[in-house]
Structure 1
Amino acid sequence: MSHPIGRRAAAALVLLPFAGCGGLPAARAQRGAAALPDFADLAERVLPAVVNIAVTSEQRTEVPPELRGTPFERFFRDRRGRSRQSQGAGSGFIMDPAGLVVTANHVVGNASRVVVSLQDGEEYVARVVGSDDLTDLALLRVEARAPLPSVPWGSSAALRVGQWVLAAGNPFGLGGTVTSGILSARGRDIGSGPYDDFLQTDAPINPGNSGGPLFNTAGEVVGINTAIFSPSGASAGIGFAVPSDLARPIIEQLRAGGRVERGWLGVSLEDIEADEAGRRRNAGRGVVVAGVVRGSPAARAGLRPGDQVVALDGQRIETSRALVRNVAALPPGQTVQLSILREGRATEVPVQIGRRPAGQ
């Protein structure tokens, strides 16, 4: 039986002749090869700031409902109801030389102990400064004896579909791993929450990469790797990262106060398709208020079901997701102007943004 690597090598040998025979001229093939990026310098520069994260969690097996109140309950508690430790691993990156580490919330979860390991083998017990489950982000702090290597934030908005990216992390526990690919798409909704706005990349991302950075070619963090789409559980060429422009203000809030405060209107919304929007005398798509929470900022401002939201402080609103994200980014207490259409007539409604209730 031939080894898998042997099969891949054989396939490569079959393809080689096409570079110089009957297809592209050799000179053109060489120019194409020269145009491919070399990530060696980039990897050498950023890897010292990429960390492995090991977590220990306490798990307690609950007594099954069918055993409660029976003679077997005590036996179960004595033999199986004790706390057990589970281990996990993920990735992260140092954003500040003072020891601030960004990772994914689902990596640290309810961990009782978090250990951050650097590429040079140094290990530090980390403290969770704060986390946000709605964007799956967490901020850790380690106490180091000297300034740590760090990497800067970049702008995810400046990244164009088709541009090269580099993912780094701890896939399958193999620390210090880099993979390359392109930005495949942006604005992906994968059904994980109301703030889904993921970058999609074909840079191989696997279990253990969660929380690790996605770099642009300048060595700036443009995303935090968080999920993959895969029937097998391994990389299928579709990975998702939280955009840096979404992550950075969340991390700054965690750094300042350990928690995230989001703006809130208190409405349920529905998207309007283009043809329906036209009937509402508004070109393009839009957002309609489906319901108003009693006592909410929207209710106090006089918003009604059926109102169509056109803009927020002059910024055009196209989808309900955009409105939710824009409002969430506002500080509670700030007053904004909602441009709405009510029964076909345009009007401006001032609304004082509230604080998003916990669990919503």
Structure 2
Amino acid sequence: MTRYAIDESRSELVAIWETGYGAVAIRVAPLAVSIEPRRRLALAAELSGLSRALWRCYTHPASAAGSLALNTEGWRREQTRNEFASVTAHIRKPNLPEGNSLMVSYDPVEECAHRVGRCLHAAGDTDLTAAVVADVEAERAAVEGAELGDLSGRSAQAVQLTRQAASPVQVAAADRILMGDPLGGGELFLELDPTSACVAAAHWLQAAADVAADAANSAAPDVLAEADDIEALPLATPTVVLELMEIGLSPTDVVTRMICDAMAVAEGEAPDIDDLREKIEEAGEEAEQVAASGAEAVGEITAIRLTTLDPLRPARDMLEDLLSGIRGCWLLYRENAMFSTDLEGTVSDDELDGEINEAFRNEVRARAAADRHRLDLEDRK
């Protein structure tokens, strides 16, 4: 989202947003001396609130809610998204107090727009109003562009956000990056929606796990535990992803399910009561087994984690772990190749490493290409 602030040294309203490369700041409008400091700050705060409400429509699309039936969460999200067309009208003509009463909207986008409008009404500066309206229109266009998978310009701030749904355009772009180098992927953090990048990375993790499993004569969901014996890895998330894909879920279903659950946890909800109950029972059983070790040991076991992801940044956290998982597959593949190769002793260590690394990349590319149907992109070219 865009944050608005007051540059006191220049007496200006500025807008700031994050990208994959760093933050961008622009001047929105100069502020007249007659506008009191508290009113300036109030305007910046309300504009930040409006941006947050607009971008929530991107991160929480109606399509991800499951149902659009009357009075459901999906229906409410759809109503909020429909308010985009009226935002600037509410800013230009906000609800104002009448006596001791004020009409307040239940819709967050509409009400945030009215609040911005009331701040501008109090400022009484037509030039400032025109500049703010223009900037809000640019912010709204940025959200709409991100919804379509275009993260250029101001829409680039979506790179830092977690969305409950994936964009086929962005998934395809992430897939091309990993095809270029299955052991790379740093570019995914800079220019792509992280949820969509996770979908592609999950597909490539499965391909890498299949290749490593063949090399180690193991099962794909178990390869990361074996790789962890070689080098410490973040196991939990990529292992869950592999286990869910093993039972037939698509990369999109796995990623969006896990991310939606983590976003629910961030909002104070336990997304799966049955899963929570099972975790509580398991923790209770383990606590009984270590009770003799003391209260401190019991306390560590009974601390239940509701999600393997960081609830504050679930998509980017998942992407980091999935790419680490691909590297873990390479570690296991490399170790087995080093022991089985006939070239050892006839070429230098660097040459041997290079040949093994290239062989891994090529095998993973071939497996990912053969199973690309998992991404469901063929009819979206």
TM-score (norm 2): 0.23
**Structure with greater helix percent:** 2
TM-score (norm 1): 0.24
